[in-house]
Amino acid sequence: MSNVVREKSFGFAVRIVRLYKFLCAEKKEYVLSKQLLKSGTSIGANIEESLQAQGKRDFLNKTNIALKEATETLYWLRLLHATGYIDEKQTQSISSDCKEITAILVSIVKTTKANLERSSKKETKQIPKE
């Protein structure tokens, strides 16, 4: 069974690691790139954790964290571009992948929240009134 967001986030993490290595070796940039490495690889790590969640709420929590990490990663990419460490082509390429993962995560979060609300309403209706 294939999990699209899992595979995309893993491939993205590989790209982030390669970009980090490039920034350290070629640009001698160690501070911003470390932040990018942490947030960019954390997306996939949180998705992996969500797949072993202890229920829908735990799944939602882990997925929300992955979404926040993706948003943070976009920030670091913008900053690295604005400060001249990565060019427009590099920025567009990797940001595009991050935005695609972000869109998938937004959809998962919305769907999960809606399902939780629906199941919560069903449980409320089933409680007998005294």
55-75: pLDDT as tens digits: 999 999 999 999 999 999 999
Phi, psi of 2 (to 5 degrees): -100, 140
Q: Identify the residue whose tokens are 């999960």.
A: 112
The confidence score (pLDDT) of residue 120 equals 86
Please, what is the end-to-end C-alpha distance for the chain in angstroms?
47
Average pLDDT over residues 14-22: 98
> What's the pLDDT score for residue 122?
77
pLDDT digits (tens, 9 = 90+) for 61-119: 999 999 999 999 999 999 999 999 999 999 999 999 999 999 999 999 999 999 999 98
Looking at residue 124, what is its pLDDT? 66
- The confidence band for 127, taking pLDDT boundaries of 50, 70 and 90, is low
Both structure tokens of 42: 């954390």
CA angle, 7 then 88 then 10, to 5°: 10
Q: In whole angstroms, how far apart are CA 84 and each of 30, 31, 43, 91? A: 14, 14, 25, 11
In the Cβ-directed half-sphere of 76, how many Cα atoms lie within 13 Å?
A: 25
